[in-house]
Amino acid sequence: SPPAAVSQVTVRDALNQALDEELERDERVFLLGEEVAQYDGAYKISRGLWKKYGDKRVIDTPISEMGFAGIAVGAAMVWLRPVCEFMTFNFSMQAIDQVINSAAKTCYMSAGSIAVPIVFRGPNGASAGVAAQHSQCFAAWYGHCPGLKVVSPWSSEDAKGLLKAAIRDDNPVVMLESELLYGVPFEMSEQAQSKEFVIPIGKAKIEKPGTHVTLVAHSRPVGHCLEAAAVLSKEGVECEVINLRTIRPMDIETVEASVVKTNHLVTVEGGWPQFGVGAEICARIMEGPAFNYLDAPAVRVTGADVPMPYAKILEDNSIPQVKDIVFAVKKALNI
């Protein structure tokens, strides 16, 4: 059979495709948030959707996260399927009561009789030069809470497949995107561009097989891990790179199987070290069957334990770079 067609698609276009397809597929789906309609989205994720679907399906909201997130949660409780965009996840703090106390807990507190099929999505973590109030990663915050599912895509395929899965899921899903990835093109297969393409929530992907050390990351640091792996490969070190894709429920089995094979673990994330995603992975490996296979302590590569500085050079020093990953791998391997 001829090779499947592969084309380059940006993360922005992959998200736009997913929203377009799901709005078309199910009339209960609607998008709301600041600037999502007439302006085509602050980051142009919703470009063309208002013109195509109109005011009832793509809704511009006032600057009031607590208000529009609450409206969205209420709509989900009566079986609509809202996609609620936060212009940055830092602003979801205004609405965290709605996300946690209303959306996440209602199914349990209603003994399963009220589902809340909602997606909260938008850029998460550091961008470039937006300082402390716009640069925090909320993966650990939202990943902490039962009742939520939390996804964190890296590639265009991740973005499309996970957003479609999130919209179709009957649970509240928090989708943490990276603003710095929106304009980045990735190869997407014909299959990934089909209308029925979804990525199961809760399943990690091995982006590069390897034998010497397991690198686990989510969102933008996955790319850094692959770059570090390419550098280390020239020195005879083969890294296995795992793209988590989902923060909750976490696919610890894939990480365990890899650690059993490589005997070394390095976790990489843009968030803060304390109580972070890497800390959780290390604890789960420690408590599980893979611990006996470790030949050295696991190493975490994280953001610096400071509010994000504004100056570019300080910002670069606060976010994991390729050199930091290479250094951590050498430390884990004692080379």
Active-site residue set: 65, 134
What CA–CA distance (Å, rounded) separates 18 from 21? Answer: 5
What CA–CA distance (Å, rounded) separates 259 from 253? Answer: 10
Any idea what DSSP says for residue 220? T
Measuring CA to CA, which residue among 120, 71, 117 is closest to residue 92? Answer: 120
List of E strands, 218-261:
239-243, 246-248
Residue with tokens 């999502």: 36
What CA–CA distance (Å, rounded) separates 212 from 258? Answer: 10
CB 127 within 8 A of CB 134: yes
CB 114 within 8 A of CB 77: yes
| Residue 156 DSSP SS3 | helix
Residue with tokens 């034998």: 211
What CA–CA distance (Å, rounded) separates 179 from 31? Answer: 19
CB 7 within 8 A of CB 160: no
- The answer for residues whose C-beta is within 8 angstroms of residue 27's C-beta and 6 or more apart is none
